[in-house]
Structure 1
Amino acid sequence: MLLSAFISKRFRAYSGHKDEKNAFVSFIAKASTIGILLGVAVLIVALSVINGFEQQLVHRLLSVVPQVEYVAPSRPIADWPTKVEQLKQQPHVTGAAPFIAVNGMAQFKSQLKAVEIRGVEPSLEGDVSAINQFTQGKLVSQLTGDDVILGKQIVKQLNIALGDNVTLLIPQISEKGQSLLAPKRVTLTLAGIIEMGGPIDSSAAFIHLNKAQQTLGYDQSQVTGLRLRVDDVFSAHQIALRVGQTITDYVYISSWLRTQGSLYQDIQMVRTIVYIVVFLIIAVASFNIVSSLVMEVREKEGNIAILKTMGAKDSTILATFVMQGLTQAFVGVLLGSIVGVILAINISELFTWLSLLLGENPLEGVYFIEFLPSKLVWQDIVLTVIATFVLAILATLYPAWQATRVDPAKVLGN
């Protein structure tokens, strides 16, 4: 192996000579190295961004949207305090809270905006939601009966400010459920603004649970649903089904996998596509190694013949050209990893700078975040490096094997 390494080093030094043939072989070798560099760097950055989106999905979106909900389709759920305590005792349940959800309209002067009104119990909402972290002004946990908290986009569209009076129009349904009655009008004070990014800012309206009960004619023990927080969000559906069996009321069972599951599936699909596409790029760059080594073997047939006549074994020749290809791959992987890690660490700042330069943010109002997240996972880097070296080894085997088939008598005779 030491002899193969020495010969490989001498071959590389000889390839640096400036005659036309050597220059072209050197160019092909550098092109394959650059291709591997770019492929490794792009894969590391892309996977870091995908990991960042998944992290933000769990710690940002899923900390606010309901992880598990039990919603009464007809009659309200009675005696909610007892049921909340029962749910808290179930395995994998870390919090439970009641709510009343109804679609309505928010009105300020002549402006109207459709909203999802949620009546919540301030003392329990913090157990199932991190909405307080994204609220300006009065927090959800500080709501009183005369307050309402709206999303930022609602506030912007209605052109209102903290302290203004907002009217909520809540639809009423006849007792037989066959017709809509005139909506009830409830005037409340805008006490807080939710600024999270994404659809929640354009739809959420929080009021006190007691105010929602009074408006809809419920007594203080009745709600339309119960909400849970679980210790494993990716097992939320299984937990919801198991815990739901303990509820005696007739309810619909829902989890975030139904409401936000398509977003999570999109993230995983993009991850798979990135793996396939970028590994194909790395594979193409690796097969450039085949081209450069085949040309180098042809060029150095005389050297190989002389080595064989001096007693060099086929394994030595094979290892020499394998090292040639692995050296190209090593340089590309090393530089690509460095570039990829640096970009992955600073991609959020680069995206913010680019958005300011262009004067627009392509993520604003589209996703649940308005910045480009990044989470560097070292396992991804290790997997990328190993896969690249495997492809490089496979790419070097055929040219190296061809080098062992050189016939010294035939080559030196010519």
Structure 2
Amino acid sequence: MLLSAFLSKRFRAYSGHKDEKNGFVSFIAKASTIGILLGVAVLIVALSVINGFEQQLVHRLLSVVPQVEYVAPSRPIANWSQKVESLQSQPHVTGAAPFIAVNGMAQYKSQLKAVEIRGVEPSLESNVSAVNQFTDGKLVSQFGLDDVILGKQIVKQLNAKVGDNITLLIPQISQKGQSLLAPKRVTLNLVGVIEMGGPIDSTAAFIHLSKAQQALGYDASQVTGLRLSVDDVFSAHQIALKVGQTIDDYVYISSWFRTQGSLYQDIQMVRTIVYIVVFLIIAVASFNIVSSLVMEVREKQGNIAILKTMGAKDSTILATFVLQGLMQAFVGVALGTLIGVVLALNISELFTWISQLFGENPLEGVYFIEFLPSKLVLEDIGITVIVTFVLAILATIYPAWQATRVDPAKVLGN
């Protein structure tokens, strides 16, 4: 093996000479190395961004949107406090809280905006939602009976500010449920603004549970739904079905997979596509090694013949060219990994700088975040490096085997 490493090093040094043939072989070898470098770097950066989106989905979006909900379709759920205590004692449930959800309108002066009004219990809402982390002003946990918290985009569209009086128009339905009555107008003080990014900022309106009950004519024990947080968000649907069997009321069972599941599926689909496409790019770059080694074997037939006449074994010749191909791959993988890691660790700042430079953020108003997240996972780097080396080894086998088939008598005879 030491002899093979020495010969491989000598062959590489000889290939660097500036004659026409050697220069072309050297160019092909460098092209394959650069291809591997770019493929590895792109794959590491792309997977880091995908991991970042998935992390933000879990710790940002799913910490605010309902993970599990039980919604009464017709009559309200009674004795919500007892049911909340029962739900909190169930396996895999980390928190439970009541809510009243109704679509309505927010009005400030002459401006109107459609909103989703959610009446929440301040003392329990923090058990199932991290909305306080994204609220500027008074938090939900500090709610007063006459307070309202709106999303940033709602406040912007209404041209309002904290401290203004906002009127909510809440639809009323007749007792028989056959007709709509004039909406009830509830005037509340804007005490906080939710700034999370994405659709929540343009739809959410939080009020006190008691105020929502008064507006809809419910008593203090009635709500329209119960909300849970669970210890494993990716098993939320299974947990929702199992825990839902303990509820006596007729309810619709809903998990975040229904409202945000398409986003998660998109992230996983993009991950799969990135793996396939970039590994194909790496495969093409790796098999460029075949071209460079085949030409090099042909150029060095005389050297190989002399080595064989001196007693070099076929295994030594084979290992020589395998090591030469692997060295090309190693340089590409090492530099690609270094560049990929550096970019992955700084991609968020780089994206922000570019957005400020051009004055436009392509993520604004499209996704639930307005920055480019990144999370570097060592497992992704390991898989990338291992697969690249496997492809490089496969690419070197055929040219190295051809080198062992060189006939010293024919080569030296010519």
TM normalised by structure 1 equals 0.99
Measure how far apart 1:143 and its partner are: 1.0
Report the alpha carbon displacement of residue 400 of structure 1 after superposing the two structures with TM: 0.6
Aligned length: 414
- 3-state SS of paired residue (2:254): strand
Aligned to 1:254: 254
> Could you tell me which amino acid in structure 1 is paired with residue 110 of structure 2?
S
Offset from partner CA, 1:197-223 (integer Å, 9 cap, x none): 000000000000000000000000000
* Distance (whole Å) between structure 1 residues aligned to residue 13 and residue 166 of structure 2: 78
Q: Any idea what the Cα deviations from partners look like across 1:23-62, whole Å, max 9, x if unmatched?
A: 0000000000000000000000000001111111000000
Alignment of 1:63-212 (within 5 A): 63-212=63-212
Cα-to-partner distance string for 1:82-117 (whole Å, 9 max, x where unaligned): 000000110111100000000001111111110000
Where do 1:358-373 residues align within 5 Å? 358-373=358-373
CA distance in 1: counterparts of 2:406 and 2:167, whole angstroms: 89
Alignment of 1:10-409 (within 5 A): 10-409=10-409
- State the one-letter code of the partner of 2:38: L
Task: Name the SS of the counterpart of 2:10 in structure 1.
Answer: helix
Q: Whole-Å Cα distance in 1 between the matches of residues 355 and 13 of structure 2?
A: 46
3-state DSSP of counterpart to 2:282? helix
Q: How far apart, in 2, do the equivalents of 1:176 and 1:364 lie?
A: 44
1:180 positional shift: 1.4
Q: Percent identity?
A: 88
- Mapped to 2, the partners of 1:404 and 1:41 lie a distance apart of 35
Deviation of 1:393 after TM superposition, in Å, equals 0.2
Q: Distance in 2 between matches of 1:310 and 1:180?
A: 100
Deviates more, 1:307-316 or 1:328-337: 307-316
The offset of 1:172, in angstroms, is 1.0
Distance across 1 between alignment mates of 2:173 and 2:26:
79
Measured after TM superposition, the shift of residue 176 of structure 1 is 2.1
Secondary structure of the equivalent of 2:370? coil
Report the 3-state secondary structure (helix = DSSP H, G, I; strand = E; otherwise coil) of the residue aligned with 1:186.
strand
Q: Name the aligned partner's letter for residue 153 of structure 1.
A: Q
Distance 1:192 1:3 in 2: 73
Q: Distance in 1 between matches of 2:166 and 2:151?
A: 13
Q: Which amino acid aligns with 2:76?
A: P
Distance in 2, matches of 1:81 and 1:385, equals 54
Counterpart secondary structure, 2:145: coil
Deviations, residues 8-27 of structure 1 (Å, cap 9, x unaligned): 11100110111010000000
2:171 aligned partner, one-letter code? P
How far, CA to CA, are the matches of 1:161 and 1:286 in structure 2? 59
Q: Does 1:412 align with 2:412?
A: yes
What SS is found at the alignment partner of 2:127? Answer: helix
**More displaced 10-residue stretch of structure 1: 138-147 or 93-102:** 138-147
Q: How does the TM-score come out when normalised to structure 2?
A: 0.99
Measured after TM superposition, the shift of residue 295 of structure 1 is 0.5
**Which whole-Å CA distance do the structure 2 matches of 1:385 and 1:137 have between them?**
48
Structure 2: tracts of 5 or more residues without a match: none
Deviations 1:318-357 (A, max 9, x none): 1100001000000000000000000000000000100100
SS in 2 for 1:128: coil
Q: 2-side partners of 1:112 and 1:162: how far apart?
A: 17
Q: What is the aligned-residue RMSD (CA, Å)?
A: 0.6
State the alpha-carbon separation in 1 of the partners of residues 313 and 46 from structure 2. 44
Q: C-alpha separation between the residues in 1 aligned to 2:170 and 2:82?
A: 28
Structure 1 unaligned regions, length at least 5: none
* More displaced 10-residue stretch of structure 1: 369-378 or 173-182: 173-182
Q: Which amino acid aligns with 2:325?
A: G
